[in-house]
Amino acid sequence: RGLAPVGAMKSSWAGALGQPQFMPTSFLKHAVDFDGDGRVDIWNSTPDVLASIANYLVHYGWVRGRGWGFEVIVPESVSCSLEGPDQGKKISQWAAMGIERVGGKAFPASELKAEGFLLMPAGRSGPAFIATPNFYVLKQYNTSDLYALFIGHGADRIAHGDQNFSGSWGPVGDLHRSDIATLQRALEAKGYDVGSADGLPGFKTRRSIGRWQEKNGQAATCFPDAGLVAALK
Measured between alpha carbons, how far is 173 from 123 in angstroms, rounded to an integer?
13
- In this structure, are 50 and 73 located in the same domain? no
* Domains contained in the chain, number: 3
Q: What is the pTM of this model?
A: 0.91
Query: Would you state the pLDDT for residue 163?
Result: 84
Q: Can you say whether the dihedral through the CA atoms of 21, 25, 26, 29 is positive or negative?
A: positive
- In this structure, are 130 and 199 located in the same domain? no
CA 119 from chain centre, in angstroms, equals: 8
CA 19 from chain centre, in angstroms, equals: 21
Helices (H), the chain: 24-30, 46-59, 91-96, 133-141, 145-160, 177-189, 203-215, 226-232
Query: Would you state the pLDDT for residue 8?
Result: 85
Region of 194 please: left (phi>0), alpha (psi -120 to 50) or beta: alpha
- In this structure, are 73 and 155 located in the same domain? yes
- Domain containing 94 — which CATH number? 1.10.530.10
Residue 169 falls inside a structural domain = no
**Structural domain span for residue 49:** 6-59
Report the largest interatomic distance among the alpha carbons of the chain, rounded to a whole angstrom.
65
Residue-by-residue DSSP string for 163-198:
-S-SSPP-S---S-HHHHHHHHHHHHHTT---S--S
Query: Would you state the pLDDT for residue 232?
Result: 87
- In this structure, are 106 and 85 located in the same domain? yes
- In this structure, are 154 and 83 located in the same domain? yes
- In this structure, are 90 and 144 located in the same domain? yes
| Contact (Cβ atoms closer than 8 angstroms) between residue 56 and residue 138 | no
- In this structure, are 193 and 111 located in the same domain? no
Residue 87 falls inside a structural domain = yes
Residue 194 falls inside a structural domain = yes
Query: Would you state the pLDDT for residue 5?
Result: 81
Domain end among 36, 59, 82: 59
- In this structure, are 75 and 122 located in the same domain? yes
- In this structure, are 53 and 75 located in the same domain? no
Per-residue pLDDT of the chain in tens (233 residues, 90 and over written 9) = 777 788 888 999 999 999 999 999 999 999 999 999 999 999 999 999 999 999 999 999 999 999 999 999 999 999 999 999 999 999 999 999 999 999 888 999 999 999 999 999 999 999 999 999 999 999 999 999 999 999 999 999 999 887 889 999 988 888 999 999 999 999 999 999 999 999 999 999 999 999 999 999 999 999 999 999 999 88
Query: Would you state the pLDDT for residue 46?
Result: 98
- In this structure, are 121 and 156 located in the same domain? yes
Residue 166 falls inside a structural domain = no
- In this structure, are 94 and 16 located in the same domain? no
